[in-house]
Homo-oligomer: A and B are copies of this chain.
Amino acid sequence: MGNFADKLITEIKNKKSSICVGLDPRLDLIPNFIVEKHRQKEGDTFACVSQVLVEFNKGIIDAIKDLVPCVKPQIAFYEMFGFPGIWAYQETCAYAKSQGLIVVGDVKRNDIDSTASAYAKAYLGKVDLFGKKIEVCTCDAITVNAYLGYDGVKPFIEECHANAKGIFVLVKTSNKSSGDLQDRNVDNYATLYEMLAHLLDSWGSDDIGDCGYSSIGAVVGATYPDQAKKLRKIMPNTIFLVPGYGAQGGTAEDVKACYNEDGLGAIINSSRGITFAYKNDKKFDEKNYADASREAVIKMQKDLKVVGIV
């Protein structure tokens, strides 16, 4: 059945890209021609919004699917529209997967063991429906918050193990206040995020694939390059999912520290900078929003190449 890390590293090599496109739709930034088409059919309803999100995402996916190994839909921007939004999330994940993309569900779920297990089955495994095992939301990996400790992460690791899936555990996040807890000096470790990195290195040791990387990854923000350098040393076999490039201020030079010397070990996410690129480039009108996204990916690819990142 394989291993998630092997699958991801293979796709990175095949596509010569470690870019992850964040699918974080914002209703007010989506082209009017998509919005109005569905408003005429469905009226001002959440059902309409859900159709708009899916059509917009499909356009992006079709435009970038041959260029990048993976996409990362952020569930908050779907969940905010209630159950029709979750329908759009499921449709988006399924479509991306059907087009050969690896799907990282950015859900940051966390809970005590039995509850974490319900989340893990929904996003990484199968759910029991009257004796039949059914896939609910087809992600290849999800993000997980480890504040509850090992027994809250274990159910996710178990599903990774059973189904060749992956997780990315929040270690050092990209936001300004991330140091409030994460940068505190703890026990014999320099900081909490470094201590968690040591735990994570050990939690992931059973799921290292032929590529030398583990399916149990880490979220490390592009906005903290010095911290990333330390984390790269603590977790040599861990794949970093790196948010914060572009709109949040992280540069190509900043994310370089997230890679190993083999030129692998990281995927760099960009959301707004790619999906809403048509807003910042007068060359494109809204009808060509997907072409603008494709060009933004190619531009990001070049930007990363300057500092030696494939």
Contact = CB atoms under 8 A, between A and B. Distances in A.
Interface stretch (A76-84, A205-213, A231-239): A76-84
A151 interface: yes
Contacts of A116: 76
A95 to B, nearest CB: 15
Interface string A30-53: 000000000100001110010000
Contacts of A119: 76, 79-80
Interface residues of A, number: 68
A127 B81 contact: yes
Nearest to A184: B186
Contact of A173 (B87, B137, B148): B148
Interface stretch (A56-64, A106-114, A158-166): A106-114
Nearest to A130: B44
Nearest to A91: B83
Max chain B Cβ within 10 angstroms of own Cβ: one of A74, A113, A136, A181:
A181
A185 interface: yes
A146 B84 CA distance: 28
A27 B79 CA distance: 23
A294 interface: no
Nearest to A143: B111
A118 B79 CA distance: 8
A280 interface: no
A150 B179 CA distance: 9
Interface in A210-248: 243
A109 B175 CA distance: 16
Given A179-B149, A186-B184, A82 B77 contact: no
A249 to B, nearest CB: 12
A174 interface: yes
A152 B150 CA distance: 23
Nearest to A115: B76
A80 to B, nearest CB: 4
A149 B147 CA distance: 12
16 contacts: A74-B111, A76-B109, A76-B118, A79-B122, A82-B87, A83-B87, A86-B86, A112-B175, A145-B145, A146-B180, A146-B181, A149-B178, A149-B180, A149-B182, A184-B187, A186-B192
Interface of A: 24, 27-28, 39, 44-46, 49, 74, 76-77, 79-84, 86-87, 90, 108-113, 115-116, 118-119, 121-122, 127-130, 132, 134, 136-137, 145-152, 170, 173-182, 184-187, 192, 195-196, 199, 243
